[in-house]
Chains A and B, each alone.
Chain A
Amino acid sequence: QKEVEQNSGPLSVPEGAIASLNCTYSDRVSQSFFWYRQYSGKSPELIMSIYSNGDKEDGRFTAQLNKASQYVSLLIRDSQPSDSATYLCAARARGSTLGRLYFGRGTQLTVWP
């Protein structure tokens, strides 16, 4: 099993809907998780980080961490066409004090008007 796995998508939702992106992880990562947004041809941009079990909300974004089931998700409420991008899930390597992250392959999201 890879350290971080994402449902590859693509995911397509209408404007105003809730987009749900999921990520599972292995025992080789620690409890630090990150969601990045990457527009085509651009570099990844950090949008959420989550370190403890439960939900964390920031505007239209909610990150959810479930340690028992080893998954982390990102919900985007009131999706906008500008949210169309690839979303990368990342997790810190277990035991790494060097801040090394493992990245998933990304889920491509399209929000259509």
Chain B
Amino acid sequence: EADIYQTPRYLVIGTGKKITLECSQTMGHDKMYWYQQDPGMELHLIHYSYGVNSTEKGDLSSESTVSRIRTEHFPLTLESARPSHTSQYLCASSELRQGRPYEQYFGPGTRLTVT
């Protein structure tokens, strides 16, 4: 089973604030991902990482940034929150494992509301 954690689970914050959403996994997976999902809508990949100090932007134009200083930790930062950032943010991780490659496991998500 996946051991991937996200904090906070819920966040309500005012416009212009800087926020960091935390994601940690204890499985030693080398690959980690951030998705954005609005209610009833599809997942959009916003950032991914294939190892320490290796990150890439995804499909969705995002004003967020990420870092990967440790294998287990992949935080996402919004320098200046806006109401358009209101969404659910999902973190996932995977590894190339013999017999079960690229299975992604998701954390519980952070529901962000920017007022």
| Residues in A lying within 8 Å of B, measured CB to CB | 32, 34, 42-46, 49, 51, 88, 90, 92, 97-101, 103-106
Contacts and interface: CB of A to CB of B under 8 A. Distances in A.
Nearest to A2: B42
A106 B42 contact: yes
B10 to A, nearest CB: 11
17 contacts: A34-B104, A42-B108, A43-B108, A44-B90, A45-B106, A46-B105, A90-B104, A92-B102, A97-B96, A98-B48, A98-B56, A99-B50, A99-B102, A100-B33, A101-B102, A103-B42, A103-B43
Interface of B: 31, 33, 41-43, 45, 48, 50, 56, 90, 94-96, 100-109
Contacts of A42: 108-109
A54 B103 CA distance: 19
By DSSP majority rule, is chain B's interface helix, strand, loop, or mixed? Answer: loop
B43 A88 contact: yes
Contacts of B108: 42-43
Contacts of B41: 105
Given A103-B43, A104-B42, 4 more contacts: A44-B90, A46-B105, A49-B103, A100-B48
